[in-house]
Amino acid sequence: MVTKLKETDAVVIGMGFCGAILSRELTKAGLNVVGFERGADRNPAEEFTLTRLRDELRYVQRLELMQDNSIDTVTFRNAPDELALPIRRFGAFLPGEGVGGTGIHWGALHWRFLPSDFRIKSVLTEKYGAKSIPDTMTIQDWPVSYDEIEPHYDRFDKLCGVSGQAGNLRGKQIAGGNPFEGPRGNDYPNKPIKTGSGPQMFSDAAKSLGYHAFPVPVATSSAAYVNPEGIALGACEYCGHCNRTACEANAKASPNVNMMPVLRTEPKFELRTRSFVTKLLYDKEAKRVTGVVYTDMKTGEEYEQPAVLVVLSSFVFGNTQQLLLAGIGDAYDPRTGKGTVGKNYCYQFEAGAEAFFEGREFNPFMGAPGMGTAIDDFNGENFDHANLGFFGGGYIACLNGGAPPIGGRVLPKGEPRWGEGWKQAEAKWYRCNTRFNTQGSVYAHRDNFMDLDPTYKDALGRPLVRLTYNATENDHKMSRYLVEKMEGVIKAMKPTHYEVHNRPKNFTIVPYQSTHCTGGTMMGTDPGSSVVNRYLQAWDAHNLFVQGASVFPQQHGYNPTGTLGALAYWSAKAITEKYLKSPGPLVHA
């Protein structure tokens, strides 16, 4: 039996960065907010502590902070004519679970998209002609411009205490920063973090080739900093341990550290953890969501929580699944191209490399996931694509994220992986290699999408999301081009030996590649081509606002968190300043 509770002003489903931002902005506007999180509460004072966090086995190998696949997972296949099978333990991507979501274990690389990314279809059409875009490439312009969301990028930068070097401050080029970035209204809150030996050599080599190297922007504060919420952040200690874990120094941004402390003392906010929202209650006639049904995992009881406003801020898969289950919007069908929910699933198409410098000492265990330098010369439309045979690009970086001993070792090809001579090889190469990666865009393809699996169900009896995704010829060409450029810089660094790793032809669900999954509930200018409008308001339910990377029309050549945080602030502003005054569609279709 479902117990019906008293109506609340707003519910927020999923307490990652977007959920925390929306909860904060809505309570500030006077709303009573119930925050739902299906996983554990994660309180930094208890969990982000030493020696607890210094445990590679628990966090990096056994995935302590990640979604519990025994409760919920995703099925996967490469193509629409294949049989999808469940991902039994996550590998290629690692959505988090619990308060903080994926915003705890992320690497904190904090980028903005290019101004041209926001109108990519128009730009490509203008530059290369409409015919140059293949029919199968279902890219779209964003319904917002860089200039419109720039102030919100700025707010999110400040919340996170981002460290970096501006390259374009209000239109003025600043030496040492990224010359391709959109104009920033304000400088980064913090100076760049330190640079390790490998990244420094990369920067020098890139500059010698005429490229524009700069420090990678990171949501890891380089110095003590108090964010606009009044929360004191510590300085990064370069411990090299924080990828897939949290930060005990409160330097790496997370919802838990940078926002939740304020919400925890906010009387208008109620956090319900281990509360699994299974269903959105949709009144199709009235075009609104009347509330949610959830199971309290601590008691096994089921509740209905009516709400005036509903914010859906779970991961890409959860957002898409909720809309499909509730029948909000039309499910995408790749055969007809009709429908929008589940459409344009995209990913990050990364390739990598490592270079070995025999006899050098890089102390690779000193680092932070975003500690590095990058070039942006081959991202988006920063370079000419005429006659290249592909669109898109990405940044190329040399990163020193730490070298945890179980998973952070790498050996040159030909060295033994075990047995005689293996330890000697590890001792020789562990301390003198440096890593590179290309953060390639993924421009949407007609056949890459999500729908509901016809066979497999989650522990609560709901159909799993079925992911159909493969690497496209465009993305392979783009990536090979980036790898070629990366190789040029590596050669100029004069390593003893180096190896590059192109992606295999088919996307595989193992090993780990990137958690930059996007799409499924994309934003756009009209209901025929999108699920939510420019304010992230569902076209088919005016009191439902969908947050996160699921609203990206396609994925560009950068880590997505900077943009999803900016969009959360942008959406919150529209809700509090426009929607609450006059509830109804903010954009008329």
518 binds other proteins per the rule CB under 8 A = no
Tally Cβ neighbours within 10 Å of residue 570.
Answer: 22
Show the CA angle centred on residue 37, arms to residues 31 and 40, nearest 5°.
Answer: 135
Which one of the listed residues 241, 516, 542, 556 is annotated catalytic?
A: 516
Q: Which is nearer to other proteins, 78 or 474 (CB)?
A: 78
Q: Applying CB under 8 A, does 62 fall inside the site for other proteins?
A: yes
Q: Which stretch binds other proteins (CB under 8 A): 124-132, 238-246, 314-322, 550-558?
A: 238-246
Binding residue (CB under 8 A) for other proteins from 2, 3, 4, 57: 57
Instruction: Kindly state whether residue 243 participates in binding other proteins, applying the rule CB under 8 A.
Output: no
From 3, 28, 30, 82, residue interacting with other proteins (rule: CB under 8 A) = 82
Nearer to other proteins, 45 or 175 (CB): 45
Q: Does 431 bind other proteins (CB under 8 A)?
A: yes
249 contributes a contact to other proteins by CB under 8 A: yes
Interface with other proteins, residue 286, by CB under 8 A? no
How big is the site for other proteins, counted in residues (CB under 8 A)?
A: 78
Give the Å distances, CA to CA, from 406 to 56, 59, 60, 403, 587.
7, 12, 9, 9, 52
240 binds other proteins (CB under 8 A): yes
Is 298 buried (19+), middle (13-18) or exposed (0-12) by CB count in 10 A? exposed
| 28/170 with CB nearer other proteins | 28
Choices 23-31, 72-80, 172-180, 517-525; region in contact with other proteins by CB under 8 A = 72-80
CA 476 to chain centre: 21
> Could you say whether residue 45 binds other proteins (CB under 8 A)?
yes
Closest CA to 106 of 59, 73, 145, 143: 59
Distance CA 73, CA 75 (A): 7
Residue with structure tokens 């055969």?
A: 335
Q: Report whether 571 contacts 586 (CB < 8 A).
A: no
Q: Which residue from 135, 361, 384, 387 is in contact with other proteins, where contact means CB under 8 A?
A: 361
Tell me which residues in 433-462 interact with other proteins (CB under 8 A): 455-457
Q: Three-class SS of residue 158?
A: helix
Name the segment binding other proteins (CB under 8 A); options: 30-38, 88-96, 473-481, 490-498.
88-96
Q: Between residues 185 and 421, which has the closer beta carbon with respect to other proteins?
A: 421
Residue 75, φ and ψ in degrees, nearest 5: -95, 155
Closer by beta carbon to other proteins, 330 or else 475: 475
Compute how many other C-beta atoms are within 10 angstroms of the C-beta atom of residue 458.
20
Choosing from 44, 96, 103, 161, the residue that interacts with other proteins (CB under 8 A) is 44
Residue 231 in the binding site for other proteins (CB under 8 A): yes
Count the neighbouring beta carbons within 10 Å of the beta carbon of residue 359: 8
Q: Which one-letter amino acid corresponds to residue 464?
A: L
> In the bound complex, what is the minimum distance in angstroms from residue 76's beta carbon to other proteins?
6
Which runs of E-coded beta strand occur in 326-477?
349-356, 372-375, 394-399, 433-440, 449-457, 463-468
CB 88 to other proteins: min, Å: 5
List Cα–Cα distances, 355 to 42, 75, 430, 481, in angstroms: 38, 36, 11, 19
Q: Is 239 in the site for other proteins (CB under 8 A)?
A: yes
| Binder among 129, 171, 406, 582 for other proteins (CB under 8 A) | 406
Contact between 260 and other proteins (CB under 8 A)?
A: no
Q: How far is the CB of 455 from other proteins (least distance, A)?
A: 7
Q: Smallest distance from the beta carbon of 346 to other proteins, in angstroms?
A: 18
Residue with the two structure tokens 């198409």: 349
C-alpha distances (whole Å) from 565 to each of 18, 76, 94, 390 are 6, 28, 19, 29
Q: Strands of 376-485 (E only): list them.
A: 394-399, 433-440, 449-457, 463-468
**Does residue 241 have an active-site annotation?**
no
**Up-side HSE of residue 454: CA atoms within 13 Å toward CB?**
3
Of 5, 7, 9, 54, the residue at the interface with other proteins (CB under 8 A) is 54
Verify binding: residue 88, other proteins, rule CB under 8 A: yes
CA distance 232 to 224: 7
- Whichever of 185 and 454 has its CB closer to other proteins, that residue is 454
Indicate which single residue of 261, 339, 527, 583 sits in contact with other proteins (rule: CB under 8 A).
Answer: 261
Segment 166-195, which members bind other proteins (CB under 8 A)? Answer: 194
The catalytic residue positions are 516
